[in-house]
Each structure stands twice: as structure tokens, then as C-alpha cells.
Chains A and B, each alone.
Chain A
Amino acid sequence: MELLITLIIGVLVSGGAFLLLRTNLFSVVLGLTLLSYAVNIFLFAMGRLHTNAAPIVDGNTMTDPLPQALVLTAIVIGFAMTAFVLALALRAQHDEPGRQQ
């Protein structure tokens, strides 16, 4: 399983990095999104991969809740960042229409 997670992370990072290196901002936004997926999975995987072990106190075994708490806010903040860069792209489009062509 770990191999597959590793594969997913590697592919996402490569794709994200490639898109980050583009000149137009929308591609950069796509790249950022891919990279955030990768980083979130990476962080999440740091708590190791367990099935049927949700971190809810009910007597059963639990996985590590800490990475999950970190990732949860990271997802929402990631959205805020994506939105911010998109707004930047729109503003750039408005100020210098030529740049985004």
C-alpha cells in the first residue's frame, strides 16, 4: 500500500511542479492544487495508513488524529490560497489583458 501512496504523491508532485513552472497564472493555480493534494496526502500518511480506525473514542483502535487535524485546516486554507491566486489572475487579466493570452 505504501508503494501506491508513494506513487500517487510522486506523480502529483511532478505534475504540480511542471504546472507551477508555467507562465500563465491559471496553470499555476492548477499546479498549486495538485501540489496541495500531494502535500496533504503526505502529511496525512505521516500518521501511517490504518483502515477502520477512525479517531473517534469508542473503545476500538484509533489512528493518529494529529496529522488529520493538521490536514483538515490545510485543506480549507488551501482553498483560500487558491481563491487568492485566482483573484490575482483575474486582477492581472483586468489590468493587463495581454499578459494572460
Chain B
Amino acid sequence: MQLLGMLLLPFAGAALAAISGSDRTRCALITAFAPVIALALLMRQRINVFAGNVVYESLHWLPQAGLDISLRLDGLAFLFATLILAIGLLVIVYARYYLAEKDSLPKLYSLLLLFMGAMLGIVLSNNILLMLVFWELTSLTSFLLVGYWQHRTEARHGARMALIVTASGGLALLAGLLLLGNSVGSFELDVILLSGEIIRSSPHYPLLLSLILLGAFSKSAQFPLHFWLPHAMAAPTPVSSYLHSATMVKAGIFLLARLHPALAGTELWFDIVTTIGMLTLLYGAVMALLQNDLKGLLAFSTISHLGLITLLFGIGTPLATLAALFHIVNHAIFKASLFMAAGIIDHETGTRDLRRLRGLRRYLPHTGVLAMVTAAAMAGVPLLNGFLSKEMFFAEAIQIRDAGGLANLIPVIATIAGVFSVAYSLRFIHDVFFNGEADDLPKFPPHEPPRYMKLPVEILALLCLAVGVFPAYTVAPFLNAAAISVVGQVPNYSLALWHGFNLPLAMSCIALGGGAVLYAARAPIFRWHDRHRTISSMRVFEFGLIALFNSARKIINALDNCSLPRFVAIALLATIIVEIFALAQLPQLLGPIAINPIDITLVIGALIAAVATAFTVRWHRTRLLSLLPLGVIGLVVTLLFARFSAPDLALTQLAVEFVTLLLMLFALRYLPATATLENICWRDAIIPLVLGTSTACITLAILTQPYQSIAHYFTEHAVSDGGGHNVVNVILVDFRGFDTLGEISVLLIAAVGIGAMLHGIALQPITTLLRSQKSPLLLATLASVLLPLALLIAVHLLVRGHNLPGGGFVAGLVAAVALLLQFIARDERATLLRLSNAWQGLAAIGVLIAIATGVGSFVFTRPFLTSSFGHWHIPLFGDIELATAMLFDLGVFFVVLGAMLRVLTQMFGPSESLGAPRNL
């Protein structure tokens, strides 16, 4: 479990860092703990990985979805994990000194470690879906890190832009990876990496490749999706140094490398990846020279170098791949230290503007030397690491020229980009440290930063030298192992400093010389650039966002003008369309099953229902009157259920009918007796008629089709497995108990919601309905006799429900009706009203009982809501059968009873407004 431990360490560290307190050094030490241990764990695998082995670990997570926590550590993952952890450690040290007193260090550290964990997750995943989860996590954490200074507008906007671009890319990547996994039949990298042939010949290959590349390019800031990276520079410099040079932007590059064996090697790959790489390389290099912000220069240079690496992966030969991997390491080293140096300059002088900075060599000599070394590495000066990988790049660019077509351009572009790269590196050094006297600084005089703030820069600069001079002893084993996992073997290459006089060397010389000349002659270029003010990408982006929001709002407004009838009409029309579409598919309306003969009782029932409906509609403005026919319809429906073998439904409908009518009567006390007359337009006639007719036709069509029940399992297993003879009840409380749990929760939520909606408002009854001075004596007397009887019936229904018609729903309703009768007929109103909250509590207890019954099955190591039953012999009673499902039903009973009474008492009126009970 070493890999898993390594992966989880940063996450645990993030939690620890968040509570590490205000002492900055202690906070940094606590934070550094996790990456140090993780690095140690990683290094223990060194020998194993350098020998070309792959370390695996796997835990089941969601095997049904093809998603497991499956990790692998091969050469490529090892290389990246080392970069992530080591540079992460240096950034932690650096940030300790960089951040101002007023900024929260624990917050930054916590986010940095979260990000570190997410990055480790990407490189260690052996499952592409798992990788995607971590991929999205890096987008989220980077959003939080870029927006660290949330009080600054540019930080918030930069963070949002970064999130929108990278998360949209993530969406494309998700689609691409799903297609990839489906065409291979597995989401495990092991399988995918061996299935390159299948993938490349799959009909989905062009689509999945484009989607995956879109994801990778958005993350790695490739042209034309590069624009978010310069704006992400609003982040604190340690964050830029870590995310925007060394790690996160390399995630896209990592993906190119990771899926290289599976996706690369086709014309399509070559065309897309080299073209994008080339454009990005050139564009970034030119733009970097033109920046006036120190971090902006570094940001565009990062874009350019990422383009270089992408271009190398596009070329795709084993040597090009090796060069790409090499440049990943080199770029991470020199760019991280350059960002740190820029941060020091910003920190000590108070500005990053290249037009104001000059002559710092006198004040920051030490930092200056370090910056010069690393900038020289960036420019590709011999003896430094950047030189080596650039040489390899030039060599590959010349090699690929033979491929013809587009490839002819590559050496030229490479040289031009090299020239610009030298020029902007020179600018970074010359403009800042030389170029006259420092006389325009917000903070003067600048001082060398604290000792340990420079330590990370020193280490990185030293690495630039060490790799540049002794590549074979420093970086070679990492590269070899990584090359094995990307191209299968270690290509034949030489990391020597000197290859003799050859074309790549000439290109390097041209770049160095040309760069110096270009820098010297920069003034006209700058003037030209100043004349053509570029449009801010942020403005364009924000404009696009606003346009998007506006058009969304327009669509919403077009659909919904806050008129309920209009909205209902749209919904009903949609229903009509669906129904007519379904009807149009039928060859004929009536199916093969003959219609049963009409029987006279049903004719009477149907007529009553139709007439009652007509009257409900006719009288709907006279509210009280309309309830009368409504009740009649309810009774017809009850009888219909009773006639067609649904005793449970009939019982429930009857009880609900009573409660609903009562509810409406209560509500009517607060509403005017009549509603205003409305204009009736064609819509009000046509929609109901068409909807009614089409629904009727569909019903008839279905009823004359042959019937295939899907309930065999339930009917056959009700007695043997559920221990009940009433199949409806067994379905409710046992087979589909989880659904019922959801439904009673809805009931509880409705009750709570109604309580909240009517809480604290003093409703004034505006009609005299239910306002008799005295309760009718007859009803009062009857009610007291009925109460115990009705409650007894409720209990009876509850107990027998498992085997005969009844159950928790009906029993709850009957009990509620019995109590409500008291409410109307007697003076218990006040008492019951004050119990309003208690009823809600009862409903909550009911849900808890139901859940507890479900959880109880865990004790017997069964799944949630497994029921059990048995027979017990009780003296005098005889044999009785008890099932745990009955306990569940008791919960249902409480919920129904509690919710009904809560709603009804609340609807009757708040208890505060209750005067003497007689006066109500």
C-alpha cells in the first residue's frame, strides 16, 4: 500500500496544514512533512523503477462502472512524481518567506498540498477515469490557488477564466476517455497502452483523439487555448512557480506522454500535435519578448516551452519523445527558479514592471547571479541543462524535415523561436539587473531576501548546472525509465555536451547570436507593438461570458414571463406532443384484445364522475361549492378501486378524500369566497379538449393490448420471502421499501415545508366558514364515541396490513381522520393546535424508525432494509407472525399520522392567533 499511502499523504497533510496555526515556521515544517515522507516512499521504489519494472496497487471502488482505485508507478510516473514532490517542497520553503504577514499561510499550504495530491493522483492512476477525477481536482484546486487573493478583481477573474477553460477541456477529455475506454473495452491503462492498434483502427479514433487533445491542450495552455495562463499570473508567485511552470500545465503534456503508446503514430496525431505545438512555440516566444510584466514574460515563455514539448511529442520518434521528457525536467527546473527569482524581485522592489526595473545588480547581486544562471538555461546556453534538450530538439527538427510537407517548416520555426527565446531571456536579465541605475522603484533601496527564501532558487540553479554538465550522472536514469514506459525501450542517444560541429550546433549559435541582435534592436519592435494595441483576451472572454448569460436569460424570459397559466400551457402542450407522437406510431387505435362488455353500475359511476367534473369546472369560481362535486368524484374513484380488486387503494383514497376536503375547507377560510372572472381564450378550450382526447385514446390503446405483468417475482415471493399475504403491502414495506422510505421522507419534507411557509404569519380568516359559535352537539357526542373506535381500527389496520388490506398508510390516515374529527367537533382544537410541532416530531420519528429498521439489517450483515419474519406463540393469542417489515410499517404509520396532523393544524391557523376555543 505504499503508492496509496504516498497518494494520500498530501491530502492528509492538507488537513494538517489547515490547522497548523499562525506560527509561520512551524506551519511550513508541518506542511513539509507530507511531501518529505512521500518523497522518501517514492525513492524506495527507485531501484525497482529504474530497472524498468512497474509497481501496481489496486483497490476496488466502483467495479460496476469500470472505476477502481488502481495505481501504477512506472518510469514516466516516477519522473513526474519526483518533480511534483521535490519542487513542491521547494515551493513550500519559498512561500514561507514570500507571503505577507496578513495573508493566511495555512490556507495557501493547505491548497498547495491538495493540489499536490491531485497531481500525484494524475500521474499515479492506472485507470483513466480515476485519472480524470484527479484531473478535475487539479482544475478546482488551481482555481482556488489562482484566486487566493480573493479581494483582488484580477485574481478572481483570472481564476474564473482558468477554471472555465480547463474545466471545459476536462469535459472534452471525459468524453474522449469514455470513447477510448469503450473502444478498448477497459478503462485500465495497462490494457489501453497495449491496445494501440485497436484504438488507431477504431472508427471513433479521430473523434476521441480530438477530444483528448482538446483536454490536454487546454490544460497545457496550447494556442489558441493559451490565453488563461497569463491571467493566472494573478496568483501568488509561489503558486505560479509551482502550478504554472513545473506541474499543472505539465499535466496536459503528461497526458500526451501517457497515452503516447495508445494514440500516437498516425498522420492525424502528427498533423494536429505538431501544428499546435509549432504555433504555440512561436506565438509564445514572440509574445514573451513583448511583455512588460516580469511574470507575463515568464508566462508566455512557459507557453512557448510547452509548445516546444508538444511539438516534440507530435514528431513522435523515440528520440523526439526522449527530448520531450528531458525538456519537461529542464523546463520545470529553470522556470520554477525563474518564477521564484521574479517573486523575490517583486517582493523586494514592489514592482514587476520591466519598464521601471533596472540596475538591480547592485542591490540584489546574489539573486541576480541565480537569475542569470537560470535565464541562461532557458535561453539554451551551453553548460546548462536547457542547452542539452534544445540541441536534441534541433536535431529532431532537422531529422523530421525529411518527412516533407509541414515538416519542412519545423527547423525554421525552431530556430526563430530559439532566437526569440534568447532575446526574452536577455531582456529578463538585462532590463532588470543592468540597463542603468535603479531610480524608479516603489520600494527603495531593495535588499537581498532572507537566506532561506533564496535556498530553493539556489538548489534549482545548481541543478541547472549539474544536469547541464553531468547529465549522465543526474538525469539519465530518470529519463531512461520514463522512455521505457513511453516508447518501450531506451532509444540510442548520447547526453554528451559536445557532439562536434553539426547542424544543431549551428542552429544554437544562430539562436544565441540572433537573439542578442534581436534584443539590441528591440526598440522598433516595441514601438510597432505599442501602436497596435492588442485586444485584451480577458475583455473578450468576459464579453463572451456576459453575452452567454444574456442569451440564456433571454431564452428563459421568452419561455417564462412569470405567468403561471402560460407556463402550465407550455407543459401541457409538451404532453400533447408526446402523446400524439406516441399515437401516430400505432397502426390502429384498438389492439387485439376485445373490449369487455359495459356493465350498468360502471355506467352510472362514469356518468356521475363526468357530471361531477363538469360541475367542478362550472363552479370553480364559487370555491366552497366546487368542493362538493370534487368530493363526489373522489368517492367514485374510491368505488372504482374497490370494484376492480384494489381494497388497499379504496381504503387509502377514502381516507385521503376526507383529509383533502378538510384541508381545502380550512384553506378557504382565508381566501375570498369567489374568484374573479377571467377571460377565456381559445387556448383554454383547445388544450384541455385535445389533451383529454389524446389521453383517453392512449388509455384505450394500451388497455386493448396484450398484458405482460412484471410482478411475478413479487407475487411468488411475497409469502415465502416477505412473510405477508397482502402483496401490495409487502411490495411497499419490503421489496420496494427503499422507495417507500423516500416517499415518507417526501411527506415529512412537505409537512416541514408547509410549516415553514406558514410559520409566523398571522392569517386572518376572511369568511365565516367553520366559525360557528358552538360545536354541533350531535357531532361532538359522536366524535367522542368514535375516537377510541377509530383508533382501534387504525391499529387493527396497521397490524393486519401485512396480510390483509390495510397497512401503515391507511392506518395513519384513519388515525389522522379520527383526531381531526375531534378537531372539528370539539374543543380539543386548542390542544391539538399547540401540539403542531409535536406532530412534526412524530413524523420525524416515523422516518427514523423506518431508517433504523433498515439499518438494523446491517447488524445481521445483510443489505439495507433486508426484512426478516418469524412465528411466535403467545399464550391466549395463539400463533402470531411478526416481520421486521411491520416495524417499518409502524414508521410509515407515524409519518403519515404526524404529517397529516401537522399540515392540517398548521392550515387551520397558527396557534398564536387562537383565542378562546369557542370563538373559532
- Residues of A contacting B900 in the complex (Cβ-Cβ under 8 angstroms): 79
How far does the alpha carbon of A84 sit from the alpha carbon of B401 in the complex, in Å? 74
Query: By the criterion CB–CB under 8 Å, are B596 and A68 in contact?
Result: no
- Cα A24 to Cα B568 with chains together (Å): 13
Q: Which residues of A contact B719 (CB under 8 A)?
A: 57
| B654 shortest CB reach to chain A, Å | 10
Interface membership of B69, Cβ < 8 A: no
- In this complex, the member of A13, A50, A66, A69 whose beta carbon has the largest number of chain B beta carbons within 10 angstroms is A69
User: A53 — which chain B residues lie within 8 A by C-beta?
Assistant: 645
Contact of B436 with A by CB under 8 A? no
Query: For the complex, what is the distance from the CA of A69 to the CA of B726, rounded to whole Å?
Result: 11
Interface centre among A5, A21, A75, A89 (most CB of B within 10 A): A21
**CA gap between A44 and B455 in the complex, in Å:** 77
Determine the residue in chain B with the shortest Cβ distance to A39: B695
Question: By the criterion CB–CB under 8 Å, are B805 and A2 in contact?
Answer: no
B731 within 8 A of A: yes
Instruction: Please indicate the chain B residues that have their CB under 8 angstroms from the CB of A66 in the complex.
Output: 709-711, 714, 731
Contact of B565 among A21, A51, A65, A76 (CB under 8 A): A21
Residues on the A chain within 8 Å of B645, using CB = 50-55, 62-63
What is the bound-complex CA distance between A5 and B595, given in angstroms? 11
Sorted from nearest, which 10 A-B pairs have the closest CB atoms?
A14-B692, A10-B696, A80-B750, A17-B688, A65-B727, A69-B731, A15-B613, A18-B688, A66-B711, A87-B754
Given A1-B602, A33-B630; 19 other pairs, CB 8 A cutoff? A3-B700, A5-B699, A8-B610, A10-B692, A14-B688, A15-B613, A18-B685, A24-B676, A26-B671, A55-B726, A64-B709, A69-B736, A72-B648, A72-B728, A76-B896, A79-B900, A83-B907, A94-B763, A101-B676
Instruction: Point out residues on A near B: beta carbons under 8 Å.
Output: 1-24, 26-30, 33-34, 37-38, 40-42, 44-58, 62-66, 68-69, 71-73, 75-84, 86-91, 93-94, 100-101
Assuming the contacts A76-B743, A90-B763, A94-B763, asked whether A11 and B610 have C-beta atoms less than 8 A apart, the reply is yes
Residue in chain B with minimal CB distance to A33: B630
With the chains together, A84 CA to B754 CA distance in Å? 6
Chain B residues positioned under 8 Å from A22 (CB to CB): 565, 620, 675, 678
Chain B 798-815 against A: per-residue CB contact (8 Å), 1 yes, 0 no? 000001110001000100
Q: Within B599-644, which residues are at the interface with A (CB < 8 Å)? A: 599, 602-603, 605-606, 609-610, 613-614, 616-617, 620-621, 623, 626, 630, 633-634, 636-637, 640-641, 643-644
Please tell me which stretch of B351-359, B542-550, B659-667 contacts chain A, meaning at least 4 of its Cβ atoms lie within 8 angstroms of it. B659-667
Q: Residue of A at shortest CB range from B735? A: A69
Is the pair B747, A80 in contact by a Cβ cutoff of 8 Å? yes
Chain B: minimal CB distance from A77 (Å): 6
Cβ 8 A contact of B640, one of A16, A41, A55:
A41
In chain A, what residue has the closest Cβ to B611? A11
Give the one of B603, B688, B763 with max A CB within 10 A.
B688
Report whether A1 and B726 are in contact in the complex, using a CB–CB cutoff of 8 Å.
no
Q: Mark out the residues of chain B between 783 and 798 whose CB falls within 8 Å of any chain A CB in the assembled complex.
A: none
Roughly how many angstroms separate A71 CA and B641 CA in the complex, as a whole number?
10
* Most B-side CB within 10 Å, residue of A37, A53, A87: A87
A contact residues around B641 at 8 Å (CB)? 44
B738 smallest CB distance to A (angstroms): 12
Residue with the highest number of chain A CB atoms closer than 10 Å, among B696, B697, B804, B896: B696
C-alpha spacing A64/B565, complex, angstroms: 37
Minimal beta-carbon separation of B421 from chain A (angstroms): 66
Which residues of A are found within 8 Å of B668, using beta-carbon distances?
26
Complex: how many Å from CA A79 to CA B623? 19
Q: Are B596 and A2 in contact (CB under 8 A)?
A: yes
Q: Please, could you name 13 A-B residue pairs with CB atoms under 8 Å apart, sorted by A?
A: A8-B610, A10-B693, A17-B688, A44-B644, A44-B646, A46-B702, A56-B727, A57-B725, A64-B709, A76-B747, A79-B656, A91-B758, A101-B676
Would A56 and B803 be within 8 Å (CB), given that A12-B609, A18-B617, A19-B620 are in contact?
Answer: yes
* Nearest chain B CB to A21 CB, angstrom units: 5
Cα separation A80 to B803 with both chains bound (whole Å): 27
A56 interface neighbour in B644, B746, B804, Cβ under 8 Å: B804
**Quick one: closest B residue to A12, CB to CB?**
B613
A4 contacts B696, CB within 8 Å? no
Say yes or no: is B718 at the interface (Cβ < 8 Å to chain A).
Answer: yes
Say whether A19 contacts B704, CB under 8 Å: no
State which residues 666-725 of B face A: CB under 8 Å.
667-668, 670-672, 675-676, 678, 683-685, 687-689, 691-693, 695-697, 699-700, 702-704, 707, 709-711, 714-715, 718-719, 725
Interface set, chain B 455-500, CB cutoff 8 A to A: none
Assembly CA distance A78 to B630 (angstroms): 15
- With a cutoff of 8 Å between Cβ atoms, the chain A residues found around residue B804 in the complex are 56
Q: What is the 8 Å Cβ interface bit string for chain B, positions 560-573, against chain A (1 contact, 0 not)?
A: 00011100110010
Residues of B within 8 A of A16 (CB): 688
Q: Is B890 an interface residue (CB 8 A)?
A: no
Q: Are B646 and A11 in contact (CB under 8 A)?
A: no
Instruction: Evaluate contact between A30 and B656: CB separation under 8 angstroms.
Output: no
Whether, in the assembled complex, B649 has its beta carbon less than 8 Å from a beta carbon of chain A, the answer is: yes
**B630–A14 touching, CB < 8 Å:** no
Q: Is the CB of B707 within 8 A of A48?
A: yes
State how many angstroms separate the Cβ of A28 from the closest Cβ of chain B: 7
Residue of A30, A46, A56, A63 with most chain B CB atoms under a 10 A cut-off: A56
A56 & B726 in contact (Cβ 8 Å cutoff):
yes
Question: Chain B residues near A68 (CB, 8 Å)?
Answer: 646, 648-649, 728
CB distance from A66 to the nearest CB of B (A): 4
Q: Which residues of chain B are near A40, meaning CB under 8 Å?
A: 637
Name which residue of chain B comes closest to A52, CB basis: B645
B907, A23: Cβ atoms under 8 Å?
Answer: no
Chain A residues near B687 (CB, 8 Å)? 17, 21
Q: B360 CB to closest chain A CB, in angstroms?
A: 66
* Contact assessment for A4 and B603 in the assembled complex, using a CB-CB cutoff below 8 Å: yes
Which chain B positions have C-beta within 8 A of A55?
A: 645-646, 715, 726-728
In the bound complex, how far is the Cα of B603 from the Cα of A3, in angstroms? 10
Write the nearest CB–CB distance from B454 to chain A, whole angstroms.
65
Contacts of B739 in A (CB 8 A): 73
Residues of chain B within 8 A of A90, CB atoms compared = 667, 670-671, 757-758, 763, 907
Q: Verify if B753 is at the interface (C-beta below 8 Å from A).
A: yes
Which residue of A4, A24, A28, A57 is within 8 Å of B727 (Cβ)?
Answer: A57
B596 & A23 in contact (Cβ 8 Å cutoff): no
Rounded to whole angstroms, the CA-CA distance of A63 and B728 in the bound complex is 11
For the complex, is B778 an interface residue (Cβ under 8 Å from A)?
A: no
Residues of B near A27 (CB, < 8 A) are 620-621, 675
Q: Is the CB–CB distance between B646 and A54 below 8 Å? A: yes
Nearest CB of chain B from residue A18's CB, rounded to whole Å: 4
B373 on the interface (CB 8 Å rule)?
no
The answer to whether B703 touches A18, judged by C-beta atoms less than 8 angstroms apart, is: no
- CB <8 Å contact, B614 and A62: no
Query: Closest CB-CB distance, A9 to chain B, in whole Å?
Result: 5
Determine if B653 is an interface residue (Cβ-Cβ < 8 Å).
Answer: yes
Contact check, B613 vs A1: say whether CB atoms are below 8 A apart: no
Is B598 on the interface with A (CB-CB < 8 A)? yes
The CA-CA distance from A80 to B718 in the complex, in Å, is 29
Q: Which residue of B lies closest to A65 (CB)?
A: B727
Bound state CA distance, A87 and B671, in angstroms?
11
Interface residue B66 (Cβ < 8 Å from any Cβ of A): no
Complex contact A48–B715 (CB within 8 A): no
Whether B617 lies near A19 (C-beta < 8 A) is yes
B820 interfacial by beta-carbon distance below 8 Å: no
